[in-house]
Structure 1
Amino acid sequence: MKRFYGGLLVASMFMFLTVYRYVDLKTPVEKPYITASVITPNTTTLPLEWLWITLPDFMNEARNTQEAISGDDITTVSGLFAEQNVSQEPLLTWNRLESLVDNAQSLVNGVDAIKEAGIVWESLLSAVEAKKLSDANENQTRKGNEELCPQFLSKMNATEADGSSLKLKIPCGLTQGSSVTVIGIPDGLLGSFRIDLTGQPLPGEPDPPIIVHYNVRLLGDKSTEDPVIVQNSWTASRDWGAEERCPNLDPDLNKKVDDLDQCDKVVGREVNRTSSSTSFLQSNTSKEEASKRERYFPFKQGFLSVATLRVGTEGMQMTVDGKHITSFAFRDTLEPWLVSEVRISGDLKLISILASGLPTSEESDHVVDLEALKAPPLSPLRPLDLVIGVFSTANNFKRRMAVRRTWMQYDDVRSGRAAVRFFVGLHKSPIVNQELWNEARTYGDVQLMPFVDYYSLISWKTLAICIFGTEVDSAKFIMKTDDDAFVRVDEVLLSLSMINNTRGLIYGLINSDSQPIRNPESKWYISYQEWPEEKYPPWAHGPGYIVSRDIAESVAKLFKEGNLKMFKLEDVAMGIWIADLEKRGLVEPHYENDGRIISDGCKDGYVVAHYQSPAEMTCLWRKYQETKRSLCCRDW
């Protein structure tokens, strides 16, 4: 929570400076990633208001149906696996996944992810070739800072003179901790406005998906005459989802996101308010001081507001003037890294907009400990005890650097007893892909995937880890973890030696009694078509689990034979695969539960601690170096 309130302090300071500039300077500041244009909602596909409808399962399933890759797309996709004159180190599992193309439709977004990968891969190859030519001409300077992923974007006096709305381009997406702050004054006839975080359109779709739609209606709507905030998401294939209102029509449905209310309980309640405010729209600037009873609402027509959308672990948090107001859980296939633009429209006199905490990479020339961070090369003469595959998305540069500087520095990793590799899908942004390629070449620990990253496709990464640990190299055990998890590599290896079982082993935090989530709006929604049974087979939680080599080999073998059932929840998928292997008589599973694998944070004595920020990772590593114990960082 200290980090959260620290962010509010920064936003408050920025508000003061912004208001000062607005009143005294009134000088616009231009930024290369900001463009102003009139946003005219397409009333047939992007209406400002919509019906509150939750579709039945069979309709959602029909919308998720994808056609196999065919026709003109085959040419684009075939380029993914053509022989290229580039470094092969980041591509050791790439061609081994080629048969994903034949069954891409088995997972939501699978076909789109491979089609998009074909396009961005061609762009990346062109950029790599251009870099070679520039190096040959002894011109190794970047083409200006515009090619870097910016950490911060802002614009003052953001509303254009003609009253047009604004688009703020986010070239490298958002990550956990990123925020977008909008400073403005609701005005006009209605005083209603909307903030949309949009992605890039899928191939063949005219309109981009809306990852988060934040609609402020000061005069209410068809459901109420009172002010209301409506949150939602939109895609061309699914249309609008179920809207989330604040205040909620049914307060009992007020769920939690990142342990914060979907709608703060004070919104819409009657409160005694003593106002001492100045309306920016009134010619008379004298202060009104009166005590009156009214319903609390964070926005008020004619009054300055500072609204911040911040990316959390489970969703987006909105604060207004430093107070938490709403939360919005990420929905299936709509993730923060997809955000490419912020769109603001409606009756809002927009004073300023800024995006901060954006993902950016470290230039290798400025990394003082570069050699110590490079992965030790694999050697056939040095068999591995453990391969650790780390899930990461392309723009999570800071998380990967935190892992390199902390638990990848264990002696077991540096000596080559254990190998750590990041498994990363391509990004829709050419800038991100170029930064990722440079990172992979620099550190030698990134394995690129031949598809654009979507949460629904993470099982493909699990498969890639199994292939890497058994075909690219030969390890006794294969571990899967995340880039926000701190792993006690020494304790993992010690536990494996004490278990003393190298066949049929699945070691982790075992869940033997879980059910599919049937809520279509959940990120973890599973339809009856995807899994018809009421319970899952035993599985180990995703932040850190280990399987023995024979299981990983059998999984890879079933994939090659076309007999591996794809399932979008990767940790559950591994449990399903192991249950299938047992039915086939290929393995006799042995489940080893370890409660020290903490899936929801950190507890002293951990073997794996999940949901750790880069700063927390550094703190955990420092505590380990000082005490040689698994101690959490209480101050964070």
Structure 2
Amino acid sequence: MVAQFAVELRGLRAVEGEEPPRILHLNPRLRGDWSHRPVLEMNTCFRMQWGKAHRCDGNPSKNDDQVDGLIKCEKWDRRDSVDSKETKTGSWLNRFIGRAKKPEMRWPYPFSEGKMFVLTIQAGIEGYHVSVGGRHVASFPHRMGFSLEDATGLAVTGGVDVHSIYATSLPKVHPSFSLQQVLEMSDRWKARPVSEEPIQVFIGIISATNHFAERMAIRKSWMQFPAIQLGNVVARFFVALSHRKEINAALKTEAEYFGDVVILPFIDRYELVVLKTVAICEFGVQNVTAEYIMKCDDDTFVRLDVVLKQISVYNRTMPLYMGNLNLLHRPLRHGKWAVTYEEWPEFVYPPYANGPGYVISIDIARDIVSRHANHSLRLFKMEDVSMGMWVEDFNSTAPVQYIHSWRFCQFGCVHNYFTAHYQSPWQMLCLWNKLSSGRAHCCNYR
């Protein structure tokens, strides 16, 4: 049997007839699976589509592979019998024969058949933390598209008898948008006023309403590049409104203090993200005098120094579209990112750069703004595909330089990256610290 028992935080059913989404799927496998060793597996599931499993098998994670300062997988003893007579004898002998280092504390797999246990799941800013018997066992980072507020139910399934369930210490305000816990109100992190002088690049950062921690991490990391501090590059967050008044009030406070947030007058929804991209183009055309516009997400770390060098390599007299380009991609008709034939009747998408980070020249942005103003701009809910569509239209009248680089990383962080995606606030600061010491190394994969 693979799944001895499972504990799940579930959301509301998205479609009738489908299982509700699993915000957190925690599956201890006491008898093991294909590995034949006990494991602890965590995952998410939306619209019947499972994500990539995060498995703990007794080997500890690296110290830089952390969630809220806790490593993703703690160590436990992988031997079949940790309490055998031979093991105890060997342990005592090693103590008495003068071993140089002190004995290592060994912990068994946290679950055992027929034994009672206390399982605690704690929600943090960056993810969920699992403890058994008061000892931390594993941590699971929040996945993109899922938030703590989505978890409306708890399910316990499989071969386990439940004695009691408690929900305690629930905060009135989620820590990710608690200003006292996340925002560091210091003049050091305030944005410079926009200069009337020409600049090289304007960066628009798409951010969710309650991502206060993500925005603060960017202010304290790659927004400290000299190009931004000296005013040659301007960066702004583009944030839509929440349906919750207290979040909007906190957002307004943040925007007024730091001066780097553009609040957009609509409710934040995935289908409307494309309007944020249009707003970035409008700001880059109307509020600053920039040669290029870069769009990225609030979980993207940008190595601005190397991105600027890349831009300078190419012909400035020709329009530019640079990023991690996709060619002949087909729409997904099922799953979380499903697209209906009514939304996109064509069989393939135009060439487009992945949304976490790409660059366009200002002439392309002007064309987008102009066509949006006269209501001739076609909008599609996937903003990166929309940009590819707009650039393709522009390319029909003025040849565009399509520049592809895998170093605009879509799936995480790679060696010698230009941008790193899916970076948590902790990882943002970690990457910045490594860059500051002269090492462009990844902190870990999400």
**Per the alignment, do residues 361 and 503 of structure 1 end up closer, same or farther by CA in structure 2, a change over 3 Å counting?**
farther
Return the alpha-carbon distance in structure 1 between the equivalents of residues 129 and 434 of structure 2.
Answer: 33
* Residue from 376, 379, 386 that aligns with 1:566: 379
Following TM superposition, by how much is the alpha carbon of 1:352 offset from its aligned partner in structure 2, in angstroms?
Answer: 3.6
Q: Please show how residues 239-318 of structure 1 align to structure 2 within 5 Å.
A: 239-242=16-19, 256-260=50-54, 306=119, 308=121
Return the alpha-carbon distance in structure 1 between the equivalents of residues 308 and 234 of structure 2.
Answer: 12
Q: Please show how residues 333-352 of structure 1 align to structure 2 within 5 Å.
A: 335-336=146-147, 339=150, 342=152, 349-352=164-167
Q: Please show how residues 234-633 of structure 1 align to structure 2 within 5 Å.
A: 234=13, 238-242=15-19, 256-260=50-54, 306=119, 308=121, 321=132, 335-336=146-147, 339=150, 342=152, 349-355=164-170, 358-363=175-180, 367=184, 370-380=186-196, 382-519=197-334, 521-522=335-336, 524-583=337-396, 585=397, 587-627=398-438, 629-633=439-443
Return the alpha-carbon distance in structure 1 between the equivalents of residues 328 and 50 of structure 2.
Answer: 23
**Per the alignment, do residues 402 and 318 of structure 1 end up closer, same or farther by CA in structure 2, a change over 3 Å counting?**
closer
Following TM superposition, by how much is the alpha carbon of 1:463 offset from its aligned partner in structure 2, in angstroms?
Answer: 0.5
Return the alpha-carbon distance in structure 2 between the equivalents of residues 299 and 429 of structure 1.
Answer: 44
Is the 8 Å Cα contact of residues 258 and 312 (structure 1) preserved in structure 2?
no
Return the alpha-carbon distance in structure 1 between the equivalents of residues 432 and 138 of structure 2.
Answer: 32
Return the alpha-carbon distance in structure 1 between the equivalents of residues 345 and 112 of structure 2.
Answer: 46
Q: What secondary structure sits across from 1:555 in the alignment?
A: helix
Corresponding position of 1:77: none
Following TM superposition, by how much is the alpha carbon of 1:343 offset from its aligned partner in structure 2, in angstroms?
Answer: 5.2
State TM-score, norm by structure 1. Answer: 0.50
Return the alpha-carbon distance in structure 2 between the equivalents of residues 421 and 570 of structure 1.
Answer: 18
**Per the alignment, do residues 320 and 534 of structure 1 end up closer, same or farther by CA in structure 2, a change over 3 Å counting?**
farther
Following TM superposition, by how much is the alpha carbon of 1:465 offset from its aligned partner in structure 2, in angstroms?
Answer: 0.4
Is the 8 Å Cα contact of residues 509 and 594 (structure 1) preserved in structure 2?
yes
Between the aligned residues of both structures, percent identity stands at 31
Q: What secondary structure sits across from 1:531 in the alignment?
A: coil
Corresponding position of 2:42: none
Q: What secondary structure sits across from 2:299 in the alignment?
A: coil
Is the 8 Å Cα contact of residues 324 and 404 (structure 2) preserved in structure 1?
yes
Return the alpha-carbon distance in structure 1 between the equivalents of residues 415 and 141 of structure 2.
Answer: 30
Is the 8 Å Cα contact of residues 502 and 549 (structure 1) preserved in structure 2?
no
Spell out, residue by residue over 1:76-103, the C-alpha distance to the aligned partner (whole angstroms, 9 max, x if none): xxxxxxxxxxxxxxxxxxxxxxxxxxxx
Q: Which has more helix, going by share of residues?
A: 1
Following TM superposition, by how much is the alpha carbon of 1:344 offset from its aligned partner in structure 2, in angstroms?
Answer: 6.0
Following TM superposition, by how much is the alpha carbon of 1:242 offset from its aligned partner in structure 2, in angstroms?
Answer: 4.3
Q: Please show how residues 32-47 of structure 1 align to structure 2 within 5 Å.
A: none
Amino acid at match of 1:336: S
Is the 8 Å Cα contact of residues 503 and 549 (structure 1) preserved in structure 2?
no
**Per the alignment, do residues 372 and 320 of structure 1 end up closer, same or farther by CA in structure 2, a change over 3 Å counting?**
closer
**Per the alignment, do residues 311 and 458 of structure 1 end up closer, same or farther by CA in structure 2, a change over 3 Å counting?**
farther
Corresponding position of 1:123: none
Is the 8 Å Cα contact of residues 183 and 212 (structure 2) preserved in structure 1?
no
Provide the aligned length of Structure 1 versus Structure 2: 360
Return the alpha-carbon distance in structure 1 between the equivalents of residues 251 and 321 of structure 2.
Answer: 32
User: What is the CA RMSD across the aligned residues, in angstroms?
Assistant: 4.1
Return the alpha-carbon distance in structure 1 between the equivalents of residues 338 and 121 of structure 2.
Answer: 28
Is the 8 Å Cα contact of residues 183 and 213 (structure 2) preserved in structure 1?
no
